[in-house]
Amino acid sequence: MTAVPAGHAPPLWAGALRRSWMAGLTDAAIATRHGLHITVVRDWRSRYGLRPHPEPPPPTPPRPAPRKPRRRRPLSERQAAVLTAANRARTDAATGRTVAAAQAILDSETPLSPKYRAVLEARVADPWATLAELAAGVGLSKDAYAACLRRALIVHGPHADGS
């Protein structure tokens, strides 16, 4: 390594350092290439107002091999019956809560828009109908019917006053 006072790069090296910097080399790579200490390169770069090039990112690790799909056993008839019964019980409970809330809103003295009233009355009249069937009866799409029902229950429901 050539002895160079700290903070000084001989004029002959200035062009070589600038070419290395323009090539996108990092300070450490420039110092190694030209046999200088890294502080000399940093001082030279700061004197000319050049920003350091970021260190290259670490190499991207290879993707892991895809996992083998697990072979699942088919459900037995008993397991299928238990799951079906559980799903039906959840559906019945949710339908019951919705119908009870809708009936409570209709029985109250709360003023309702005609659309909300029609949506709630349709749900109370036929609790087991699908949303598509109820929506067709009211003249809305299934998504619009579900949104109106949800809004009516939220706005006029038991906790609408913030309690």
Task: Tell me the per-residue pLDDT of 50-71, one tens digit each, with 9 for 90 and over.
Answer: 777 777 777 888 988 888 888 8
What's the pLDDT band for 1 if we cut at 50, 70, 90?
very low
pLDDT average, residue stretch 11-21: 73
CA distances from 14 to 77, 92, 138 (A): 82, 82, 82
What's the pLDDT band for 41 if we cut at 50, 70, 90?
confident
Average pLDDT, the chain: 84
What's the pLDDT band for 140 if we cut at 50, 70, 90?
very high
Residue 5 has pLDDT above 60, yes or no: no
pLDDT average, residue stretch 125-150: 94
DSSP line for 39-104: HHHHHHHHHTTPPPPPPPPPPPPPPPPPPPPPPPPPPPHHHHHHHHHHHHHHHHHHHHHHHHHHHH
